Structure 1
C-alpha cells in the first residue's frame, strides 16, 4: 500500500472493470463546473505566491512558491505548514463544528466523547487514578511467565509493545484477510536513531532518556534516571536486530506466512507470540510475520532483559500511548519530546483541535457521514471521475508505446489496468458503533474502550473474506493512496479541495495537481513494489527478466538523481528508500500531462493571465507542494519518510521535456538536465 503523503492523523463511484477508454473514444474533458470562481487566483493558481526574481530553471519550487514561503508565517503549533496541513486544519475545524453540535444530545456519542475530553477540571481532579489499576498489574509482574499475558492485554488497550499487528488482504490471496505481525519494541521512530553516530541523533537519544525518566516520574516511580538508561540500553539492542526501512518496504521480502502452530518457533520463556495470537482471537489460523528474524531477535532480547526493565518500559509505553486520556502533564510530556524535540514544534495545538482529532479517531465513520453531506458536493465526484477515466486511458496508451516492456508483459499490464477501481469521496457502507460505550464523564474509559473496540474490529476480520467497502482512509482524511493487492486508488472527500482539486478551476491546474496525484497512485501499481502484484492483485512475478532489467536501470538513474539532493547540510535524500514515491511523482506528472493534452480534444489551450496551458499545468503541480518545514521535522522525515521533501518532489519536472519548453529552461540553469540524462519510465 502506498500513500501520497504520510499523515499525522462519498456513495462511492466505482470505476471498475472496463473503465479504460480506447484511443478511439472521445476524451474526458473534465471541464470546470459552471458558476462561481476558483478559490485560488483567477484560474486556480495563487499568483501572489510567485517569486519573479527566481528563474524557473534554477529552482522551480522557489519560482512558483517563493513569495508564498516568504510571506507565510509558520504557526507555532506546527512542525510543517503548507497545502496539506492547511487542508487538514480546515477539515479539523469542520469536524469540530459537527462534534460540538452533537454535545446537546446525551445519546450522541460524538458529543459525549468530545465533552469528556474537554472536561479538564474533572480530568485533573481524577489525576492518575484511572490508570492506576493497570499500572498496578504491570508493577505486580514479578517473573517472566506473566509478561506475555500483559503484552496481550496491552495490545487490546492500544498500548504499543514488542510487536505491531494489523489486518489486511493477503498478498497471495487478496480476497482473504490475514493478520500481519511486524517488528516493534522501540520508542524512537527508526532504528538508525539508536545506531547513527550523527551528532543530531546523539542529542536526540539524550533527550529520549530524559523523556523516559520524566514519564516514570509521572507514574510515581523513583530513581528514574538509571531505570530510563536501562530501557534505552534494551531498545538499542532491539534496534540492532530490526530490519532497515528499505527492507521493510519490500513487499516480497516481507511476505512470510506461518500457521498458528508454526508461530511457536518465535516463542521464548518470556515472550510467546503464539500465546498472544491465541489471546487475540480464536478465528486465527495463520499469520504473516513480516520480519521473522527481527521478531525472533526481539523475543530473545526481551528474554534476557531484567523483569524490572520490562515493567518500566511497559509503564512508559502505557502513559505515552494513553496520554490523551490522562492529565495534561502526561500529554505535555509526550508533546515535549515527540513534537518539540523530534519535530521542532514550539507549541501544542489548542485543546479543541486535539479533542476533535481524538473523537475523529474513535468514531470516524460517525463523523464521516455528516462531513460528506456538508462538504462534498456531488459535482466534485463527476469532475474527478472524468479526470480519472482520462488518466487511465492515457496509461493504457503509454503502455502500448513503451519501448522497454516486452509484448507479453504489456498485455498483462493492460489487463491489470482494466481491473482498477477508483474510489472517490466516501465508501458505500459505514461501520456500526452500537457496541461502543461512550460517557461524558469517563475520558480514560472512553479511550480504552475505543481502542479495544478497534482492536476487535481489526482482529475479527482475519481469515475472513476481504471487505472492500471498508476503506483504509476515512473520507475526512487529507491524503490519497494506492492498494496493491486490491487494485484500488482512493481519493477521500477531504483531499478533494484546493489546491489539490477545485471543480471550478482551469483544467490545466487540476491536471497538474490532482491529475498528477491520481497518476502517481495509478503508477504505484507498476512501481518498484506495485509491479510485484499481477492483474489479480496477487503477489507474483509477471515481468520478464528484460523488463526488470530496463526498469531497474531507470530506477538507478532516479536514485542517483535524488541521492544528490541535500535538503539540510550533510543530510541527503535517500534515493533508494524514496524510489517508489519518486517514480510515482515522475510517472504521475507524465501521465497527467498527456491526459491534459488529450482533454483538449485537439484544440489549443487558451492563454490565461499571460500563462500558457503548459505553464498552468506545471504551476498546478508546484503549488500543491507549498510547504514550510522545521529542520528537526525534515531531519526525521529524511530518515523515516518514504517520500522526498516537497521541494525535491517539485523538481521532478526537470525530467519532462515539456517543462523545458514551457519555461524556456536552458543549459546553465541549475535544474537543467541534458535530454539523455532525463529519466523516463512511463
Structure 2
C-alpha cells in the first residue's frame, strides 16, 4: 500500500488483514458497455467450455462430517499437511496468492534492477535502484548508523517544549512516531471536501491492552520489550540503554493509559469531533498548537477532526509533566526502531527478534528479495502495478466481475425490500445507498505520478525518507482541492479488497481475482461462494454497524428511524454474543464487539451472494459436480477461501488488534446462521453446526 501522510491511515473496511464518500458516476473504464448481460450469456452458450467445480478436493477431510465442521471438511487435509513457512506468522489462501504475486513482481522488478544505463529519474531507474538498495546488505553494514545521525542530531538539538511540539509535526516524514498522528481524508460530514484528522498514536506495542493486561503473555511481552529497547540502544552506540528503556516504557505507559480502547476507536460517530484550529487550546493549552500546525505546513486550514478529544487533553498534561530529556529519549527510540530495517544487519535482526519472533512467533525474516519486492510495492506500488496488470490480469475478468457486482446489487435490493424488521422510510434510504455503490475493479483508471520522488542507488534510508516526504506533500496538498475519486488505497497486486464509506465505493484489486476466489473456468456456484461473497462482504460493510452510519453520498448522518435502529442493534448485539463464545486457543476468546463490523460483512455478504447465485440460475437446476449440488458447492467455495493456519503468538496478537475473526469462524460462524446451509447439507439438531432457528441472526 502507498505510504500515507502524517502517519496516515485510511478509514476503509478491509476484507482481510494480511481494511469515504459517494460517487453516483461510474469510472469511464467501467461504463463502456460492450455487451449486455444477455449477450454475454449468449456468447458463453455458443462457446461452451468443460465445466469445472472449482473445488480443491485434495484439501478435503472426508472423515469430518460437514454438518459438524464445514471448515475442516473442506480444508482438513490441507490443515494437517501444511506447514507455516518459517518467514511467516500465519499462512493460508490469501498468503499463497500474495506469494504468487510476489514471484510475478520479482520478474518485473529484477528486469529493471539488472538493466544498465537507465535514464535517471525514470520509473525503471527508481524501481531498480530501490530494489538493489534493499539487497545490498554490505553497503548497509558499511554505512552503519551514519545515515541516521543527522536525524538523531535534530532530536538532540531540541531546546524547549515548543521545539518538541514542532518536532512532533515532522515525525511522519521520518518513519518515526509521535504521540499524535495526522492524515487527510474526506470530511465524513461533508465528503465533497478534504479535512485533516488527528488521532492518538505514539506506542511501540500494538495497542493499549499490551501495557496493562496482567496475564502472563502480556507481562512477558512487556519485559521482553524493555530488554529489546536496551539492546537496540547498545547496538546503536547510544548511551544509558538500560535507563533509557525504563524511561521509554514509563512514558509509553502514560500515553497508553490515555488512549481510547479499540472498541471505541472503531466507532465512526464517537470519533468524529470537529474543531477549529484556534479551538485546540480548549482541549489543552500545554501544547503550542500554532507551532505544531505551522511546522506541519497546515496553519492556513480552518478545521480538523479530533478522533479522541479526551486523549489530546490528557496528552497536554503528559507533555507538561514529562521532562524534555525523557521526551528526547523517547523520540530517539522511535526514530531508531522506525528505521531499523533500513540500517545495519545487527539492528535489523534485533528489531525482527522482538517484533517478528516475540510478538508474532515468526522464526525467520523474509528473504532479502521479498523485502525488496515489498519496498517497491510500498514506495512505487503503482509503477509495478501497471506492468503487473498488463502481464497477469485478463480484461475479461473485469467484465465478468462487473456482471457479478450487478447481480449482487440486485440481490441486495430484493433482500432489503423483503426485510420484515425494517420500515419503509429506512428501506428507502438503504436502497438509495445501494444504488450509489461505486465498484472499482482490477486497477486504477489513473495511475499515480512519481516524477517528484527521488530514488538514489545504494541509499536505502534516504530513499525511504524521500518517499515519506513525497507522500506527506501529496497528502497535505490535497487540502483545498477537489476530491480525487480515482485514487486507490491498495495496489492492483494486493490480495485483498475494501469498502470506503465516505466514497461509498467497493474496490477489488486484480490479484484477488483468481482461484480460489474467482475462476473464469469454474461453475458459478463456487465463484458466487468465493468472489461473490467477497463482493457481498464489501457491500455489507456499507450496512455494518459503522458503515450504516454513512448515507449513500458518504455523509456521516443518522438515516435510520428510532425503531429500525433498535431492531438493527438487537440483531448485531446477538451476533456479537455468538462470536464472544468462540475460543481459538484455550482461554483466548474472539471479541464479538471488536470484530462486529467484519462479522456483519461476512454474514450479509454470504447471505446476499447465495441469493445472487439463485438469481443467476434463472430457475434452472444447477449441475451436480464432483458429487455435490450447486448449493453445497456454494458453501464449500466460501469455506475454501478461508483456509489458514496461525502460530499461537500470532493468534493471540490478532485477537488483540485485528477486527477480523480467525478464519475458522469466518466460515463456520456465518453458516450456522443460514437456513440455506442447513437445507443444503440436511443439518439437524445434534449436529455441531446446527443452531436453533430462534438463535440464528439475520440482518440483511
TM range (shorter): over 0.9
Alignment match, 1:250: 267
Alignment match, 1:353: 370
Is residue 16–residue 496 contact of structure 2 (8 Å, CA) maintained in 1?
yes
State the secondary structure of the residue aligned to 1:422: strand
Is residue 61–residue 72 contact of structure 2 (8 Å, CA) maintained in 1?
yes
Q: Please report how far the alpha carbon of residue 30 of structure 1 lies from its aligned counterpart in structure 2 after TM superposition.
A: 12
Alignment match, 1:478: 495
> Which has the larger displacement, 600-609 or 286-295?
286-295
Name the CA distance, whole Å, in 1 between partners of 2:39 and 2:246.
64
Name the CA distance, whole Å, in 2 between partners of 1:284 and 1:345.
44
1:279 aligned residue (279, 295, 306): 295
Q: Please report how far the alpha carbon of residue 545 of structure 1 lies from its aligned counterpart in structure 2 after TM superposition.
A: 0.6
State the secondary structure of the residue aligned to 2:195: strand
After superposition, the Cα gap between the structure-2 partners of 1:35 and 1:431, relative to the gap in structure 1 and judged at 3 Å, is farther
Is residue 16–residue 419 contact of structure 1 (8 Å, CA) maintained in 2?
no
State the secondary structure of the residue aligned to 1:526: coil
State the secondary structure of the residue aligned to 1:114: helix
Alignment match, 1:2: 13
Counterpart mapping for 1:432-447 below 5 A: 432-447=449-464
Alignment match, 1:411: 428
Name the CA distance, whole Å, in 2 between partners of 1:273 and 1:119.
42
Alignment match, 1:240: 257
Q: Please report how far the alpha carbon of residue 477 of structure 1 lies from its aligned counterpart in structure 2 after TM superposition.
A: 1.5
Name the CA distance, whole Å, in 1 between partners of 2:588 and 2:28.
43
The alignment status of 1:48 with 2:58, answered yes or no, reads yes
Name the CA distance, whole Å, in 2 between partners of 1:120 and 1:36.
51
Name the CA distance, whole Å, in 2 between partners of 1:621 and 1:278.
51
Name the CA distance, whole Å, in 1 between partners of 2:254 and 2:283.
18
Q: Give CA-to-partner distance per residue, 1:115-145, whole Å, 9 cap, x none.
A: 1221221111111111111112212334333
Is residue 335–residue 348 contact of structure 1 (8 Å, CA) maintained in 2?
yes
After superposition, the Cα gap between the structure-2 partners of 1:337 and 1:120, relative to the gap in structure 1 and judged at 3 Å, is same
Alignment match, 1:96: 106
After superposition, the Cα gap between the structure-2 partners of 1:31 and 1:54, relative to the gap in structure 1 and judged at 3 Å, is farther
2:76 aligned residue (59, 66, 84): 66
Name the CA distance, whole Å, in 2 between partners of 1:658 and 1:274.
60
2:694 aligned residue (669, 673, 676): 676
Name the CA distance, whole Å, in 2 between partners of 1:14 and 1:527.
29
After superposition, the Cα gap between the structure-2 partners of 1:483 and 1:229, relative to the gap in structure 1 and judged at 3 Å, is same
Q: Please report how far the alpha carbon of residue 311 of structure 1 lies from its aligned counterpart in structure 2 after TM superposition.
A: 1.4
1:326 aligned residue (343, 348, 355): 343
State the secondary structure of the residue aligned to 2:391: helix
State the secondary structure of the residue aligned to 2:447: coil
Alignment match, 1:660: 678
After superposition, the Cα gap between the structure-2 partners of 1:192 and 1:616, relative to the gap in structure 1 and judged at 3 Å, is same
After superposition, the Cα gap between the structure-2 partners of 1:353 and 1:194, relative to the gap in structure 1 and judged at 3 Å, is same
Is residue 284–residue 312 contact of structure 2 (8 Å, CA) maintained in 1?
no
After superposition, the Cα gap between the structure-2 partners of 1:514 and 1:404, relative to the gap in structure 1 and judged at 3 Å, is same
Is residue 27–residue 598 contact of structure 1 (8 Å, CA) maintained in 2?
no
State the secondary structure of the residue aligned to 1:102: helix
Name the CA distance, whole Å, in 2 between partners of 1:195 and 1:17.
55
Q: Give CA-to-partner distance per residue, 1:601-626, whole Å, 9 cap, x none.
A: 11000000111101110011000000
Q: Give CA-to-partner distance per residue, 1:317-360, whole Å, 9 cap, x none.
A: 11221223211222212211111100100000101101110111
Counterpart mapping for 1:185-334 below 5 A: 185-269=202-286, 271-282=287-298, 283-334=300-351
Q: Please report how far the alpha carbon of residue 218 of structure 1 lies from its aligned counterpart in structure 2 after TM superposition.
A: 2.6
State the secondary structure of the residue aligned to 1:456: helix
TM-score normalised according to structure 2 size: 0.92
Counterpart mapping for 1:625-640 below 5 A: 625-640=642-657
Counterpart mapping for 1:637-656 below 5 A: 637-651=654-668, 652-656=670-674
Name the CA distance, whole Å, in 2 between partners of 1:644 and 1:27.
40
Is residue 168–residue 179 contact of structure 1 (8 Å, CA) maintained in 2?
yes
Q: Please report how far the alpha carbon of residue 28 of structure 1 lies from its aligned counterpart in structure 2 after TM superposition.
A: 8.7
After superposition, the Cα gap between the structure-2 partners of 1:265 and 1:16, relative to the gap in structure 1 and judged at 3 Å, is farther
The alignment status of 1:597 with 2:597, answered yes or no, reads no
Unpaired segments ≥5 residues, structure 2: 1-11, 20-25, 120-124
Alignment match, 1:384: 401
Aligned residues: 671
Q: Give CA-to-partner distance per residue, 1:520-563, whole Å, 9 cap, x none.
A: 11111111111111122111101001111111111111111111
1:544 aligned residue (533, 541, 561): 561
The alignment status of 1:575 with 2:592, answered yes or no, reads yes
Is residue 654–residue 678 contact of structure 1 (8 Å, CA) maintained in 2?
yes
The alignment status of 1:615 with 2:632, answered yes or no, reads yes
Is residue 31–residue 383 contact of structure 1 (8 Å, CA) maintained in 2?
no
After superposition, the Cα gap between the structure-2 partners of 1:143 and 1:274, relative to the gap in structure 1 and judged at 3 Å, is closer
State the secondary structure of the residue aligned to 2:645: strand
Is residue 186–residue 239 contact of structure 1 (8 Å, CA) maintained in 2?
yes
After superposition, the Cα gap between the structure-2 partners of 1:312 and 1:343, relative to the gap in structure 1 and judged at 3 Å, is same
The alignment status of 1:87 with 2:97, answered yes or no, reads yes
Name the CA distance, whole Å, in 1 between partners of 2:530 and 2:664.
15
Q: Please report how far the alpha carbon of residue 441 of structure 1 lies from its aligned counterpart in structure 2 after TM superposition.
A: 2.4
Q: Please report how far the alpha carbon of residue 80 of structure 1 lies from its aligned counterpart in structure 2 after TM superposition.
A: 0.4
Name the CA distance, whole Å, in 1 between partners of 2:425 and 2:38.
28
Q: Please report how far the alpha carbon of residue 146 of structure 1 lies from its aligned counterpart in structure 2 after TM superposition.
A: 2.1
TM-score normalised according to structure 1 size: 0.95
Q: Please report how far the alpha carbon of residue 43 of structure 1 lies from its aligned counterpart in structure 2 after TM superposition.
A: 2.2
Is residue 28–residue 389 contact of structure 1 (8 Å, CA) maintained in 2?
no
The alignment status of 1:179 with 2:196, answered yes or no, reads yes
Alignment match, 1:556: 573
Name the CA distance, whole Å, in 1 between partners of 2:27 and 2:640.
28
Is residue 236–residue 347 contact of structure 2 (8 Å, CA) maintained in 1?
no
Name the CA distance, whole Å, in 2 between partners of 1:415 and 1:30.
31
Name the CA distance, whole Å, in 2 between partners of 1:656 and 1:81.
28
> Which has the larger displacement, 25-34 or 536-545?
25-34
Counterpart mapping for 1:2-151 below 5 A: 2-7=13-18, 42-103=52-113, 104-105=115-116, 106-107=118-119, 108-151=125-168
Is residue 558–residue 679 contact of structure 1 (8 Å, CA) maintained in 2?
yes
Alignment match, 1:457: 474
After superposition, the Cα gap between the structure-2 partners of 1:90 and 1:546, relative to the gap in structure 1 and judged at 3 Å, is same
After superposition, the Cα gap between the structure-2 partners of 1:280 and 1:607, relative to the gap in structure 1 and judged at 3 Å, is same
Q: Please report how far the alpha carbon of residue 414 of structure 1 lies from its aligned counterpart in structure 2 after TM superposition.
A: 1.0
Is residue 178–residue 286 contact of structure 1 (8 Å, CA) maintained in 2?
yes
Quote the RMSD (CA, aligned, Å): 2.2
Counterpart mapping for 1:522-533 below 5 A: 522-533=539-550
